[in-house]
Structure 1
Amino acid sequence: MSGLAPGEGVDAGAAPLAHEPLPTDEVIIGAPTTAVHDLATIGGVEVGIWEMTPGTASDTEVDEVFVVLSGHARIEFVEPALPAIEVGPGSVVRLAEGQRTAWTVTETLRKIYIA
């Protein structure tokens, strides 16, 4: 699957994605894998599909808004410290550049991101 051409569409919930293991220094629990597929870059803004299998991993975020298509996870905000949130289908979340998080995915999570 490659980036979308103008006028082209894709079923973001069913599109096949190629998973890879996360770097070991990011894995906290389990053996989660992730997949990402860039759909488009519009005016310097990236839009794509991201997916993570069950497990817990740390991340340092970029400026992003995402919408969960499927799955469930708990996102802990390590730095700056903020209350953890539960996300599932339909959740819309804003992340900030440099924010440190820990993602605990209980059901493979797929989201559309805008970054």
Structure 2
Amino acid sequence: MLTPGQPHASSAVTVTREALDAASVAEGLPTAGYTVLDTLGDTEIGIWEMSVGTATDTEEDEVFIVVSGRASIHFAADDRTIIVGPGDVVRLTAGMHTTWTVTETLRKIYVS
């Protein structure tokens, strides 16, 4: 848990990654994992990381900020792809079907 009034280096947070479910992997052997940093009521704040590769997902309600790495995210509903990198902020809504193509290990801070 975060200590109020104290800085915490997001790059120093340990995230244990595991192989993704084979059914969701489209290319490569990506791993992913997350660490919960804290909660605010029912809201979770954490760090999520995925290694290089391509995988599909069904999203939850979330806002995230990319800390490091690069990826493209394809949104199936409107056949649209965005590119994200450090400093980018993205809003996802529950039920979105996405394909993540990570080209440089991606680390993001999420609020969900």
Q: Please, what TM-score do these two structures have when normalized by structure 2?
A: 0.93
For 2:39, the equivalent position in structure 1 comes to 41
Aligned residue-pair number: 112
Task: Find 2:105's aligned residue among 82, 104, 108.
Answer: 108
- Check the 8 A contact 2:14/2:35 in 1, yes or no: no
1:44 corresponds to which letter in structure 2?
D
**Alpha-carbon distance between aligned partners in 2 of 1:22 and 1:8, rounded to the nearest angstrom:** 34
1:26 corresponds to which letter in structure 2?
S
Task: Find 1:53's aligned residue among 47, 51, 54.
Answer: 51
How much does 1:67 deviate?
Answer: 0.1
For 1:16, the equivalent position in structure 2 comes to 14
Identity in percent: 51
Unaligned runs of 5+ in 1: none
2:20 corresponds to which letter in structure 1?
L
How much does 1:24 deviate?
Answer: 0.7
Q: Once structures 1 and 2 are overlaid, which stretch shifts more, 21-30 or 5-14?
A: 5-14
What is the SS of the residue equivalent to 2:22?
A: coil
What is the SS of the residue equivalent to 1:69?
A: strand
Instruction: Extract structure 1 runs of 4+ deviating beyond 2 A.
Output: 3-10
Unaligned runs of 5+ in 2: none
Q: Please, what TM-score do these two structures have when normalized by structure 1?
A: 0.91
What is the SS of the residue equivalent to 1:97?
A: coil
**Alpha-carbon distance between aligned partners in 2 of 1:10 and 1:31, rounded to the nearest angstrom:** 30
Deviations 1:40-71 (A, max 9, x none): 11121110000000000000000000000000
Q: Once structures 1 and 2 are overlaid, which stretch shifts more, 13-22 or 63-72?
A: 13-22
Greater share of helix residues, 1 or 2? 2
**Alpha-carbon distance between aligned partners in 2 of 1:5 and 1:23, rounded to the nearest angstrom:** 34
